[in-house]
Chain A
Amino acid sequence: MTRLAYYPGCTLKTNARNFEESTMATAEALGVELVEPGRWNCCGTVHALAKDDVMHHLAPIRNLIRVEELNAEGSVDSKKVVTLCAMCYNTLKRSNQVFNQDSDKRKKIRDIMTKEDTQYSGGVEVIHYLEALKEQGWDKVAAQVKKPLKGLKVAPYYGCLLLRPRGIGIDDADSPTIMEDLLKALGAEVVSFAYSQKCCGSYHTVHMREVVADLSHKILKQAEVAGADMLVTACPLCEYNLGQRQTQVKQQYPSFNSIPVVYFTQLMALAFGLGEEATAFEANRPEPTPLLKEKGLLE
C-alpha cells in the first residue's frame, strides 16, 4: 500500500461527502492509502493574486506544514499531498509556489507563524488525485474495472482551476486529455464538447445566482447537444453550480432537460463494482440512478 497524504478541504466533509467516500473506496482498490492529517484548516480558496499579499498564504502554507509533519512522523511515504477539490488544489499549489519563489514573503510567513513547531521547508509537492491516478498508470485503473461503463456517454467537465493558469494546471489548458483517459479506462464513451473548460460562474453562485444559472445552462445544453448522458467533474463548486443548481436553471429555462453531474471517483466506484456505499449517488442532484439503471449499469 502506498501511503499518500490527503488534504480534504471543508466541502469534502459536508456537501461533497460522496466525493470523499467514493475516492476512499477506489483508492483502497488501487492500493493507495490516503492519510488525512489530524489537524488541518480551510485552504482559504481562492488564491490571493495581489502581489503584496502575505496574509492569505498563511492558510495554505499551514496545511503544507501538516503534510511535512505527517511525513516526518512516518505516516506517509513522501512529501506529496493529494487533493480532490480542484479549488483546494489550485490554492495550495499556488501558495506553495509563492512561498518557494519569493524570499521576502517566505521570511514574513515564517515570522508570523510563531506558534508552529516546525517551519515550512517548501518541500511539499501538491498534486490532484487525477495526476496520482495517471502516475499509477491507466492500465492499473482498467485492471480494477469489473463492470465497464459500456454505453454510458460521459462528457468530462474540467472547469477552470484544474487547468489554469498555465504552469499550475494538471494538463494542457487548451486540449486536456487526463479525464478522457480515465473515462476510457473505465470503459465509458467519451463525449467531447466545446464548453468543457468554460467557467461555471464559481463564487458568484452566492450573490448572482441567475448569472450562474445562465452559464450552467449553456454548459449543460452544449453537453446534451453533443450527446452526453452525464457530466463528470472534479470540483465541489462546479458540482454545485452545474448539478444542485439545476432547479434554478429549470426555473429560468423551462425547456431545459436535466442531466446528471457526478464526481469522477463515483464513476470509478461504479466501474470497480464497489457497491452503493462507495458510489454514494444519493446526494447527487439531479439523481443519476434512474439513468444508470436504464443503461443497465445499476440494478
Chain B
Amino acid sequence: MILRSGPENKHYRDRVKELSGENVDLCFQCGACSSGCPMTQEMDYLPSKVIRMVQLGLEEAQESKTIWVCTTCFNCEVRCPRGIDIANVMEALRQLVLRKKYNRVSIDELSPEELRDLPQVALVSNQRKMTA
C-alpha cells in the first residue's frame, strides 16, 4: 500500500492534535505501545503505525479498523516513553468519523436476549465509544 503525504496534509494532523490534545510529533516509533496493546491481533494497523499516519497527516488513519478495536485500556499511555496518550489519539480519530452521523454499533441491532443479559455498564460504555 502506498501512502502519499505532502504539505497539504498538515491540516489533518493539526486537527487530530487539537482534538486529542496530544503532540503526536513526539513519537519516535519505538513500538512500546503496540507491544502492550491487548487488541493487536484484531487490528489492521498497529497503534504505532496509526500514530505515524497521523504524523504524516493521512486521513487513512481514521479509516482503519484499529480505532474501533481499541478498548481504551491506556496500556499504551503507561508505556509510552514520550508521554503520549495514544488512546486519546484513537478517540480523536473515532470522533472525526462518529461526528459525521456514523454509528459503529447500532443499539437496535442487538437481540432481546443480549439486551437482557448485558449489564448496564457494558451497554453504556459501548454506546459512548461506538456512537455519535
Contact = CB atoms under 8 A, between A and B. Distances in A.
A85 B87 contact: no
A199 interface: yes
Contact of A240 (B77, B87, B119): B119
Interface string A81-115: 00001010000000000000000000000000000
A199 B75 CA distance: 8
B124 A42 contact: yes
B49 interface: no
B75 A164 contact: yes
A237 B88 CA distance: 22
Nearest to B87: A49
B38 A198 contact: yes
B131 to A, nearest CB: 11
Contact of B125 (A16, A87, A174): A87
A10 B121 contact: yes
Contacts of A237: 119, 121-122, 125
Interface in B68-127: 69, 71-75, 77-78, 85, 87-88, 91-92, 95, 105, 110, 114, 118-126
A204 B87 CA distance: 16
A101 B130 CA distance: 27
A211 interface: yes
Nearest to A201: B71
B121 A206 contact: no
A202 interface: yes
B18 A203 contact: no
Contacts of A10: 120-121, 124
Most chain B CB within a 10 A radius of its CB, from A10, A49, A160, A206:
A49
Contacts of B130: 203, 207
What's the dominant secondary structure at chain A's contact region?
A: loop
A46 B123 contact: no
Q: What is the size category of the interface that chain A forms with chain B?
A: 35 or more
A45 B122 CA distance: 9
A215 interface: yes
Contacts, number: 125
Interface in A5-29: 9-11, 14-16
A204 B38 CA distance: 12
B58 to A, nearest CB: 20
Given A45-B124, A85-B121, A206-B105, A160 B71 contact: yes
Interface string A49-88: 1111000100000000000000000000000000001010
A84 to B, nearest CB: 11
A49 B20 CA distance: 7
A173 interface: yes
A39 interface: no
Contacts of A201: 38-39, 71
A222 interface: no
Nearest to A164: B74
Given A46-B128, A161-B74, A165-B87, 11 more contacts: A11-B121, A42-B120, A49-B87, A51-B20, A85-B121, A160-B71, A160-B72, A164-B77, A203-B125, A203-B129, A237-B122
30 contacts: A10-B121, A11-B120, A14-B120, A46-B125, A46-B128, A48-B128, A49-B88, A49-B91, A50-B92, A51-B18, A160-B74, A160-B75, A161-B74, A164-B73, A165-B74, A165-B78, A166-B77, A197-B75, A198-B38, A199-B73, A201-B38, A202-B72, A202-B125, A204-B126, A205-B118, A206-B126, A207-B105, A211-B42, A211-B69, A240-B118
Give 10 nearest A-B pairs by CB, closest first. Answer: A164-B74, A199-B73, A49-B91, A10-B120, A15-B119, A160-B73, A203-B126, A203-B125, A206-B126, A51-B21
Interface of B: 18-21, 38-39, 42, 69, 71-75, 77-78, 85, 87-88, 91-92, 95, 105, 110, 114, 118-126, 128-130
